[in-house]
Structure 1
Amino acid sequence: MSITILKGTVVSAPALGKLDITENGCLVAEDGKITGVFPALPEQYAGAAVEDYGDALILQSFADLHLHAPQYPMLGMGMDLPLLDWLNTYTFPTEARFADPDYAREVYRKLARELIENGTTRVCMFSSLHREATLILMEELEKAGVTGYVGKVNMDRNGIPALQEETEESQRETLRWLEECRDFRHVKPILTPRFTPSCTNELMDFLGKLAAERGLPVQSHLSENTGEIAWVKELHPDCGQYWETYAKYGLWNDRTLMAHCVWSDARERAAMRVAGVTVVHCADSNQNICSGTAPVRVMLKEGLNVALGSDIAGGDHLSMFDVVAASIRASKARRILDGWDTDFLTVAEGWYLGTSAGAAFFGEQPGFAPGNRLHAIVLEDGDLPQPHPLTAAERLERCVYRRQKDAVRAVWSEGRLTFSREKK
Structure 2
Amino acid sequence: MNPIILKGTIVSAPVLGRLEITPGGYLAAEEGRITGVWPVLPERYAGAPVEDFGDALILQSFTDLHLHAPQYPMLGMGMDLPLLDWLDAYAFPTEARFSDTGYAREVYQKLARELAGHGTTRVCMFSSLHTDATLILMEELERAGITGYVGKVNMDRNGGKDLQETTEESMAETLRWLEESQDFAHIRPILTPRFTPSCTDALMAFLGRLAAERDLPVQSHLSENTAELALVASLHPDCPQYWETYAKFGLWGPKTAMAHCVWSDARERQAMKEAGVTVVHCADSNQNICSGVAPVRVMLDEGLKVALGSDIAGGDHLDMLDVAASAIRASKARRILDGWETEHLTVAEALYLATSAGAAFFGARPGFGPGEPLHALVLDDSQLPKPHPLTPEERVERAVYRRQPGAIRAVWSQGRKIFSAEENG
TM-score (norm. length: structure 2): 0.99
Is 1:235 the counterpart of 2:263 in the alignment?
no
Is 1:195 the counterpart of 2:209 in the alignment?
no
Taking the aligned partners of 2:116 and 2:420, their CA distance within structure 1 comes to 10
Q: CA deviation at 1:3?
A: 1.0
Partner of residue 69, structure 1: 69
- 1:229-283 deviations in Å (ceiling 9; x for gaps): 0110100000010000000000000000000000000000000000000000000
The 8 Å contact of residues 6 and 28 in structure 1, kept in 2 or not, is answered as: yes
Matches within 5 A, 1:107-118: 107-118=107-118
Partner of residue 209, structure 2: 209
Matches within 5 A, 1:14-413: 14-413=14-413
SS at match of 1:397: helix
Q: CA deviation at 1:372?
A: 1.2
SS at match of 2:362: coil
- 1:125-160 deviations in Å (ceiling 9; x for gaps): 000000000000000000111100000000000011
Q: CA deviation at 1:401?
A: 1.1
The 8 Å contact of residues 71 and 313 in structure 1, kept in 2 or not, is answered as: yes
Taking the aligned partners of 1:51 and 1:172, their CA distance within structure 2 comes to 49
- 1:176-215 deviations in Å (ceiling 9; x for gaps): 0000000000000000000000000000000000000000
Taking the aligned partners of 1:5 and 1:394, their CA distance within structure 2 comes to 25
The 8 Å contact of residues 412 and 419 in structure 1, kept in 2 or not, is answered as: yes
User: 1:154 is matched by which residue type in structure 2?
Assistant: N
The 8 Å contact of residues 282 and 309 in structure 2, kept in 1 or not, is answered as: yes
Taking the aligned partners of 2:301 and 2:137, their CA distance within structure 1 comes to 37
Taking the aligned partners of 1:369 and 1:403, their CA distance within structure 2 comes to 28
SS at match of 1:107: helix
Taking the aligned partners of 1:237 and 1:23, their CA distance within structure 2 comes to 57
Taking the aligned partners of 1:318 and 1:14, their CA distance within structure 2 comes to 23
SS at match of 1:377: strand
The 8 Å contact of residues 410 and 421 in structure 2, kept in 1 or not, is answered as: yes
Taking the aligned partners of 1:305 and 1:404, their CA distance within structure 2 comes to 30
Taking the aligned partners of 2:301 and 2:201, their CA distance within structure 1 comes to 34
Q: CA deviation at 1:403?
A: 3.5
The 8 Å contact of residues 381 and 403 in structure 1, kept in 2 or not, is answered as: no
SS at match of 1:361: helix
Q: CA deviation at 1:292?
A: 0.1
- 1:339-384 deviations in Å (ceiling 9; x for gaps): 0000000000000000000000111111101111100010000010
User: 1:293 is matched by which residue type in structure 2?
Assistant: V
Taking the aligned partners of 2:253 and 2:417, their CA distance within structure 1 comes to 34
Taking the aligned partners of 1:159 and 1:20, their CA distance within structure 2 comes to 46
Taking the aligned partners of 2:343 and 2:168, their CA distance within structure 1 comes to 49
The 8 Å contact of residues 281 and 294 in structure 2, kept in 1 or not, is answered as: yes
Q: CA deviation at 1:48?
A: 1.0
Segments of structure 1 that go 5 or more residues without pairing to the other structure are none
User: 2:148 is matched by which residue type in structure 1?
Assistant: G
Total equivalences in the alignment: 424
Q: CA deviation at 1:33?
A: 0.7
Taking the aligned partners of 1:300 and 1:69, their CA distance within structure 2 comes to 28
Taking the aligned partners of 1:415 and 1:15, their CA distance within structure 2 comes to 22
User: 2:302 is matched by which residue type in structure 1?
Assistant: E
The 8 Å contact of residues 379 and 409 in structure 2, kept in 1 or not, is answered as: yes
User: 1:136 is matched by which residue type in structure 2?
Assistant: I
Q: CA deviation at 1:2?
A: 4.0
User: 1:44 is matched by which residue type in structure 2?
Assistant: R
Q: CA deviation at 1:405?
A: 2.6
Percent of aligned pairs sharing the same letter: 76
Q: CA deviation at 1:406?
A: 0.2
TM-score (norm. length: structure 1): 0.99
99-108 or 45-54, which deviates more: 45-54
The 8 Å contact of residues 322 and 403 in structure 2, kept in 1 or not, is answered as: no
Taking the aligned partners of 2:404 and 2:299, their CA distance within structure 1 comes to 34
SS at match of 1:418: strand
